[in-house]
Chains A and B, each alone.
Chain A
Amino acid sequence: MTDTPPALQARRLSAAYHQHPVLEDITLALPQGQWTAIVGPNGAGKSSLLNLIIGTLPPLRGELRILGESPAVQRRVGNIAYMAQQENMEWDFPISVRETVLTGRYGLIRQDPLWQRLLPRHWANPVHQQAVDDALEAVDMADHASRPIGELSGGQKKRVLLARALAQQAKILLLDEPLAGVDPPSEKLILATLERERAAGRTIIMVTHDLPGARHHADNVLLINRTLIGMGSPDEMLNDAMLARLAVGAPASGHGGVRVAA
């Protein structure tokens, strides 16, 4: 292949939770190095699309490719970083901010030689500690590194989850509502950090309800309500006509809108 494969490519992709369809007939392709916002009503299957990529939801039909290969392969080599929703985390867990961010490196640590992995972290490969330091610095949490995660405020928790995804230094960043319930300074910091990541060539795929933020920062917008309602630039998608279609769940071009981002 001469040209680079798309970051994400779906062909007639469907998924279901307990025989209950959540996504139907999705066909799309996202190029590498761009920022995509996934927009849609609650329960529309936005998070399910991310779950298909990280492998917590098996596809029912159709095909999904990440960087031209199966998602399982790309997960295994550490190209997919995922930032979970805050509600899905165990904040009571006895773990510090630094250790939480280090878990983002666990997939890469697996590739170190065995003897190195069995050492306590102070003697292990220093690359990982450096990546954790950089990530904590990027989200302005270095001063809180040794605190237990349960003591953090909502905005701080979000920043730690982002730091964990950044520490992986993956090609693709998947973010599930990174700005939900975040204080304005944290929001500004998270968006600035993501701008830097895109400038460094990473692909960002973000589920969001924040339409002004999507309009301002994203290169592409995916409108999803059970199926793909539309896909294009923020200006093409985030207007009254398209948002009305999104609300009733009617695709623009017959069934299962087929479009490829520029």
Chain B
Amino acid sequence: MPLEALATGVIDALIALLMAGVNLLPDPLSAPFEYRFMQRALLTSVLVGAICGLLSCYVVLKRWSLLGDAISHAVLPGVAIAYLLGWPFFIGAFITGALTSLGIGALERHTRIKADAAMGLMFTAAFALGIVIISKIATSTHLMHILFGNVLGVQTGALVLTLLASLVAVLVIWLAYRPLLLYTFDPQQAQALGFNTSLIHYGLILLLTLTIVASLETVGIILVVAMLITPGATAHLLTDRFPTMLAISVGVGVISAVVGLVLSVSLDVASGGAIVLVASSLFVVALLAAPKHGLVARQWRRWRLNRA
């Protein structure tokens, strides 16, 4: 298959690029990356960190944290059904994730149920369905990996999916930069200027679903929402410019994923948890030390004001 050859070619090229950087590191750090599975885990982590970082800016500014949590949980029944039918897991995941977000929108728009209740209701129902289906199938390590992530065992199929999802996310955010920015900042103005706000809304939700599905094997269902909130929240503390926020957020996502991966190998702990803990630590550092919006800077300004 020429497509398969192309995919492996692109993956090999990207890995070679990353290894050029890794080889600059001191030996104890770069040694584990001599293994092929470590190289693939590294590439997956970098990609997942980057797209989660991109999307998390929109999630944080649009107050969609709970929606991200909802979609990530709603993915579970899709994974279980896909497993039963012998489909690739991400197809099922994408379908139930997207259906649940549409259901939330419909419930919110056409009944008196408020948005947060609609989300809580839909995603717990979907998650419960997933658990019921899983309890009927024999316990499978693969399903555990979907729940908690297992970046070290990432298969070529999942890596290709992550690569495609990253390409789509970067392309969409580049091509639709202004509509997405305006819709996030001021949806009313977007409507007044004749933008198709429903298209932007559901497009952004689909992009979010795609990112979540692509991140499943790395950080897992339970923790993916952390990667959709923490990088963006950290970046929001550090800048007052949206393009800079995107850049910082991608940086935080990638650094967390790579450092978390290295720590999980050297300490022999779960990769998803390690990645999220690194991201949370970066957030705490920003919270304390951000030049303008950090706690130390605020306290310092208050102290100076009182002295004057």
Residues of A that sit less than 8 Å from B by CB: 18, 54-56, 72, 75-78, 80-82, 84, 88-90, 93-96, 99-100, 103-104, 106-107, 109-110, 117-118, 148, 150, 164, 168, 174
In chain B between 47 and 82, which residues have their CB closer than 8 angstroms to a CB of chain A? Answer: 61
In chain B between 251 and 284, which residues have their CB closer than 8 angstroms to a CB of chain A? Answer: none
| Residue on B nearest A73 in the bound complex, by CB | B194
Interface contact tally, CB-CB below 8 A: 80
Contact with A along B162-186 (1 / 0, CB 8 A): 0000000000001100110110111
A75–B189 Cα distance when bound, in Å, is: 11
Closest CB-CB distance, B161 to chain A, in whole Å? Answer: 26
A89–B186 Cα distance when bound, in Å, is: 7
Looking at chain B's contact residues, the main secondary structure is helix
* In contact, B61 and A103 (Cβ under 8 angstroms): no
Residues of B that sit less than 8 Å from A by CB: 61, 112, 174-175, 178-179, 181-182, 184-186, 188-195, 236, 239-242, 244-245
A75–B240 Cα distance when bound, in Å, is: 30
Contacts of B181 in A (CB 8 A): 103
A95–B186 Cα distance when bound, in Å, is: 12
Contacts of B236 in A (CB 8 A): 94
* In contact, B61 and A107 (Cβ under 8 angstroms): no
* In contact, B193 and A75 (Cβ under 8 angstroms): yes
A148–B240 Cα distance when bound, in Å, is: 6
Contacts of A103 in B (CB 8 A): 178, 181-182, 185-186, 189
| Residue on B nearest A57 in the bound complex, by CB | B191
Closest CB-CB distance, A119 to chain B, in whole Å? Answer: 11
A174–B240 Cα distance when bound, in Å, is: 29
* In contact, B188 and A82 (Cβ under 8 angstroms): yes
* In contact, A54 and B61 (Cβ under 8 angstroms): no
Query: Given the interface contacts A75-B194, A107-B194, does A90 sit within 8 Å of B186 by beta carbon?
Result: yes
Contact of B240 among A84, A88, A150 (CB under 8 A): A150
* In contact, A94 and B245 (Cβ under 8 angstroms): yes
